[in-house]
Amino acid sequence: MLSITQFDLSYPGYPPLARVTWHLKPGEQVALLGRSGTGKSTLLKAILHAANHPHIEIETDRIAYLAQQPVLLPWLTVAENVSLGNRLRGESVTPADAEQIEQRLTDVGLAGFGPRTIDTLSGGQRARVALARVLFEKADCVLLDEPFSGLDRSTRIDMASLCRELLLEQTVVLVTHDPLDARNWLSHAMVLTETSLTGPFELTQFENDRVLLDALGVGL
Contact positions vs other proteins (CB under 8 A) = 45, 48-49, 61, 63-69, 71, 73-75, 84-85, 87-90, 117-119, 137, 139, 143, 145
Q: How far is the CB of 31 from other proteins (least distance, A)?
A: 19
Terminal CA-to-CA distance of the chain, rounded, Å? 35
If one counts every other C-beta atom within 10 angstroms of the C-beta of residue 4, the result is: 20
**The sheet that has 2-8: what strands, in order across it?**
19-24, 2-8, 56-58
Q: How far is the CB of 171 from other proteins (least distance, A)?
A: 14
What residue type is assigned to position 144 of the chain? Answer: L
**Measured from the CB atom, is 49 or 217 closer to other proteins?**
49
**Measured from the CB atom, is 66 or 190 closer to other proteins?**
66
Q: How far is the CB of 53 from other proteins (least distance, A)?
A: 14
What residue type is assigned to position 6 of the chain? Answer: Q
Q: CB under 8 Å to 108, separation ≥6 — which residues?
A: 128, 129, 131, 132, 135, 162, 166
Q: How far is the CB of 206 from other proteins (least distance, A)?
A: 28
**Measured from the CB atom, is 61 or 202 closer to other proteins?**
61
**Measured from the CB atom, is 74 or 219 closer to other proteins?**
74
DSSP 117: B
